[in-house]
């Protein structure tokens, strides 16, 4: 028996290894949501709380990157690329592992010469051409100069109440305080919010955000059919995210999503994304001067 020939024949039947393909943003989100469902099914509801916490801290980041940061480093509080930390007088500690996220690749789309000559102001425009892997590091992974304190309000809504009321007014939503809705703390009617008077400032703020979330998400045809339980959970999750962002002591939110979605990854992803997007809009209104260390748009430049 010719063992050399046999070995050669065996090798020829093996398929050549395919190069590892890059994951798209959608694939990464799907993978993270699947992992979250598995953790919830195993009884680890703190995994969802970690995602909601990350939403409160990184609301200028994309939904997919928030999930990536929360999965890889749930305790992250302030992240940036190595170049950005260097510019702030800090250095990444030796041996620290970066947090992998997706950074946008921006290209220039050039118009045909004939069109460009007709309108020189519209000659070229920036377009998103794809994504690439980039790595950021949490402040805890760095050493160096002290950073300016981020604006926080611990246990007190401060000026955020006035900013929230102004935002509600700008949305054309009527706000009334009435005891007629007792024992409910708040009610949303579509263009009108009613709040029970006499609540503490923190409770009132949370109630306002909860009912505002209903106004923004649930008073029009929006997406896949939702149930009352799903709508209430989304509103509560948004109130949790906003409360954490302004420094209030928040509960665990309604973390048992698995009972609502029964393992349906697409519905869970849909809810998490609208929670993130709605929270980002409200936080932008509350903190007009607040800046993140490194929003997604900047990562393409320096990460």
61 versus 111: the higher-pLDDT residue is 61
d(CA 208, CA 80): 33
Does one domain contain both 144 and 160?
Answer: no
Tell me 99's DSSP state: E
To the nearest 10°, report the CA torsion of 218, 221, 226, 228. Answer: 40
Does one domain contain both 220 and 238?
Answer: yes
Within-domain flag for 36: yes
Q: What is the CA radius of gyration of the chain?
A: 24
**Count of other CB atoms within 10 angstroms of residue 139:** 17
- Report residue 19 CA to chain centroid gap: 31
Tell me 142's DSSP state: E
Report phi then psi at 176, rounded to 5. -130, 150
Does one domain contain both 238 and 135?
Answer: no
Does one domain contain both 73 and 189?
Answer: no
Does one domain contain both 162 and 101?
Answer: no
Number of structural domains (the chain) is 2
pLDDT tens digits along 281-295: 999 998 755 434 444
Helix (DSSP H) and strand (DSSP E) numbers for the chain: 12, 8
210 band by pLDDT with thresholds 50, 70 and 90: very high
Residue-level pLDDT at 138: 94
Within-domain flag for 12: no
Does one domain contain both 113 and 170?
Answer: no
Does one domain contain both 41 and 52?
Answer: yes
Global pTM value: 0.68
d(CA 58, CA 70): 10
Does one domain contain both 242 and 270?
Answer: yes
3-state secondary structure of 244: helix
Residue 114, both tokens = 């004939």
Structural domain boundaries enclosing 240: 152-286
pLDDT tens digits along 108-163: 766 665 655 555 555 566 666 777 888 999 999 999 988 765 444 345 788 899 99
3-state secondary structure of 265: helix
Residue-level pLDDT at 63: 87
Within-domain flag for 221: yes
């Amino acid at each position: 028996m010719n063992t050399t020939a046999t070995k050669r024949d065996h090798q020829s039947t093996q398929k050549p290894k395919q190069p590892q393909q890059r994951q798209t943003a959608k694939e990464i989100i799907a993978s993270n949501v699947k992992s979250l469902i598995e953790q919830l099914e195993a009884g680890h509801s703190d995994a969802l709380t970690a995602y909601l916490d990350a939403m409160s801290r990184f609301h200028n980041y994309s939904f997919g990157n928030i999930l990536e940061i929360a999965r890889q480093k749930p305790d992250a509080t302030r992240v940036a690329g190595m170049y950005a930390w260097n510019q702030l007088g800090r250095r990444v500690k030796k041996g620290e592992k970066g947090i992998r996220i997706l950074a946008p690749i921006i290209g220039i789309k050039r118009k045909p010469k004939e069109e460009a000559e007709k309108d020189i102001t519209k000659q070229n425009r920036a377009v998103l051409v794809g994504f690439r892997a980039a790595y950021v590091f949490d402040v805890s992974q760095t050493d160096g100069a002290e950073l300016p304190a981020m604006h926080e309000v611990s246990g007190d809504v401060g000026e955020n109440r006035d900013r929230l009321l102004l935002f509600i007014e700008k949305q054309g939503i009527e706000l009334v305080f009435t005891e007629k809705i007792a024992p409910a703390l708040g009610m949303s009617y579509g263009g009108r919010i009613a709040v029970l008077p006499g609540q503490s400032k923190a409770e009132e703020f949370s109630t306002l955000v909860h009912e505002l979330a209903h106004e923004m998400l649930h008073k029009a045809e929006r997406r896949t059919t939702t149930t009352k339980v799903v709508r209430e959970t989304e509103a509560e999750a948004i109130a949790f995210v906003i409360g954490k962002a302004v420094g209030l002591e928040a509960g665990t939110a309604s973390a048992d999503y698995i009972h609502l979605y029964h393992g349906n990854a697409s519905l869970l992803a849909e809810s998490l994304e609208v929670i993130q997007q709605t929270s980002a809009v409200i936080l932008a209104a509350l903190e007009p001067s607040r800046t993140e260390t490194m929003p997604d748009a900047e990562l393409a430049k320096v990460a």
